[in-house]
Structure 1
Amino acid sequence: METNADLDSRPSAIGSRAIHTVPVIDISELAGEIHRDLASVQQIADACRKLGFFQVINHGVHNDVFEQVWEQTRAFFALPAEQKEKVLRTGENPWGYYNNELTKNQRDKKEVFDYTTDGVDAVYGAENRWPDFDQRFRPTLESYRDECASLSLRLLQAMSAALVLDPQFLNPLFDPEHTGFVRLNYYPVEDPLEGRDDVAHLDVADLGIHHHADAGALTVLLQDSVAGLQVFNSGLWYDVPPIAGALVINTGDMMQVWSNDHYRAPIHRVLAMEATERYSIPFFFNPSADATIRPLPAMVSADRPARYRPIEWKDFRSRRTDGDYADYGPEVQIAQFRIVD
């Protein structure tokens, strides 16, 4: 299984590209009772084991929802910088706009807007920061967040069923409230910090997002029509092509830990845009703030003992978010919790 450490030790792999078919799965049957014998459940399990990425169609989110959220996303990033910076994130509040984000302590060539569940979030004790340029912005984005959370729960249940678990087995780890959030990503052609001398990390932003694995359970990604997302597998980078109406799904670190490495949290990146701007909207489905993450009992045996020590999600998540904002040293990874034989 590829890890961030593996990739860091093989810089020659950074430039590799290859053609690869990311599975496309029809999940219409997940609208009904979910059990491990469903064809889509087995297809999801196979994708989670082999690549950690797949695309879903017939997922229940309507195209008009996509169109509305795209309209608001493009309108926000088209605002003057001073207007966007009215909702600039801080070291104490991670919600809002940012144009100087780090991945593994390297600056990404992008702008983002992050928002989470309503009210004061349970990880940071902070509230969403909403711009006031359009009264439709907040309700449109809140509606999309809720659609993604509902879909994520169905996918979580399918992944659980495929591990020979009750489909509801992981649900309590997302109660009383998950800590998921939505990110609006804008990948401009021009560096958003070009010519600025009043901010840190003005090193060259050579990628839209540098290589990483997502921290949480799973991610639901809406792509526009511009390519750029790549997943690392067997020493090569593979494109994840945009498909109209589809959503891209990938498993995260916590799913890898729960499954005791039966599922993989894939390393992925986004190329820097050189000719055409790009937008994407990921929803990161994360456990509740007080969840303790460890390999599930059904995934542990004498032949396959637990491979990870318990992880306190609130601490893990807050440390990863802090590292997105500023360079506080090496980024926390699940490899640091791995039990060495």
Structure 2
Amino acid sequence: MTTIPVLDLKPLKDGAPGALEKLGAEMRHAFTEIGFYFVRNHGISEELLDQTFAEAERFHSQPVEAKLSVRINEHNMGYMPMRGATTRVNAVGDVALPNANEAVFFKRDLTPDHPDVVAGHRFRGLNQWPAGLPGFREKILDACAAFEGLGMSLLPVYATALGKPADFFAPFFTDPMFTLRMSHYPQQEATAPENEFGIAPHVDTSFMTILAQNKIPGLSLRTTDGDWIDAPAPEGALLINGGQLLRRWTDNRFLATPHRVINRSGKERYAIPFFFDCNYHAVMTPITEDGTPGRMPPITYAEFMTGYQKANFHHAAEKPKSDEGVELQGV
């Protein structure tokens, strides 16, 4: 577990014989033994990643009133205030205090006349862009396009790892869902309660989470033995993991590994995880080894995420909670 596999995408991009099969075997090992892997030669420039981190800092440096002007809504788009979420449905261990972070969320930039927007489908609304940050929208869309491209390029590797044809996932990922979360983790004082985390021990919801390596430490992973280890940060690599949707879709064959954030660095920490999922309307039927029915029934992205939101995010709860004097109403 202490050695996270590194998948090099260059041979695949170069069309080297056997490259896909080799990567599939490496990914199968990663997801059956560890739950995380790194990718090198992924095609996303350090300049773009640095730029996206800078935009996260620029957004969160605004006055709270400016951030609240794009407050998070039922589509999970917009700004979530500090301690606006408590990890419950995907918690590892006891439920901790509300997470000591603030975040802003962006999804695919749909237009007002898009059929899903017109129909009012949940999680298919319009992004909320801050008014006072010129160039912000364009830079965030550049980052989303780069992360989405990487996610799409990895789908044949996932299919091969599961013993499926390389194009198996293609029909499920036409117009895929994604979320870019731009988080701010303030320094946590030594006097903070023991059960307060930047983000509490949890597993992600996603099919694929792409995480740019952070220059400020704080992320740790739980081994299969139950130990917590600090996530390494090899230069030029991106860290990728699977979440509950991947685990469910693979009939629990692939791991969703717990992780957490504790910021004791003495500095402000920012993170830009990109959550990549199938098409909104795709039905995920568990992929079993022998083709028999899976442990869980088929499910769609919307069905899964609606339950997750209500359990974890204060703004989506049946009875909204207040947060430091701010009423977290669902809108």
Report the TM-score, using the length of structure 1 for normalisation: 0.79
Counterparts of residues 1-341 of structure 1 (less than 5 Å): 20-32=2-14, 38-90=21-73, 92-99=74-81, 100-104=84-88, 106-119=97-110, 120=117, 122-175=121-174, 177-189=175-187, 206-233=196-223, 234-273=225-264, 275-296=266-287, 299-300=289-290, 306-326=294-314, 328=317
Amino acid at match of 2:52: V
Tell me the CA shift for residue 204 of structure 1. Answer: 8.4
Identity of aligned residues (%): 27
Q: Secondary structure at the match of 2:278?
A: coil
Kept in 2, the 8 Å contact 1:206–1:272? The answer is no
Helix, strand or coil for the counterpart of 2:273? strand
Letter in 2 for 1:221: L
CA contact (8 A) 1:123 1:289 kept: no
Task: Note the C-alpha offset of 1:33.
Answer: 5.0
Change (3 A) 1:68 1:284: same
Change (3 A) 1:112 1:275: same
> How far off its partner does 1:41 sit?
2.8
Distance change >3 Å, CA 125–CA 60, structure 1 → 2 = closer
**Paired residues of 1:36 and 1:164 also in contact (CA < 8 A):** no
In structure 1, the partner of 2:323 is: none
Compute the displacement of 1:261 (Å).
2.3
- Structure 1 portions without partners, runs of 5+: 1-18, 192-202, 330-341
TM-score, length-scaled by structure 2: 0.81
- Cα distance in structure 2, aligned partners of 1:223 and 1:321: 26
Which secondary structure state, in structure 2, belongs to the residue aligned with residue 320 of structure 1? helix
The Cα of 1:153 is off from its aligned counterpart by 1.4
Rounded Cα–Cα distance in structure 2 between residues aligned with 1:94 and 1:40: 34
* Structure 1 position 43, deviation (Å): 1.6
CA, structure 1 residues 273+323, in 2 after alignment: closer, same or farther (shift >3 Å)?
farther
- The verdict on how the C-alpha distance between 1:322 and 1:126 changes in structure 2, with shifts beyond 3 A counting, is farther
Separation of aligned partners in 2, 1:313 and 1:134: 31
Across the aligned residues of Structure 1 and Structure 2, the Cα RMSD in angstroms comes to: 2.5
Give, in angstroms, the shift of residue 115 of structure 1.
0.2
Offset from partner CA, 1:205-264 (integer Å, 9 cap, x none): 710111221112111011321221122222111221223322110012222223222211
Of 117-126 and 147-156, more deviation after overlay is shown by 117-126
Alpha-carbon deviation of 1:301? 5.0
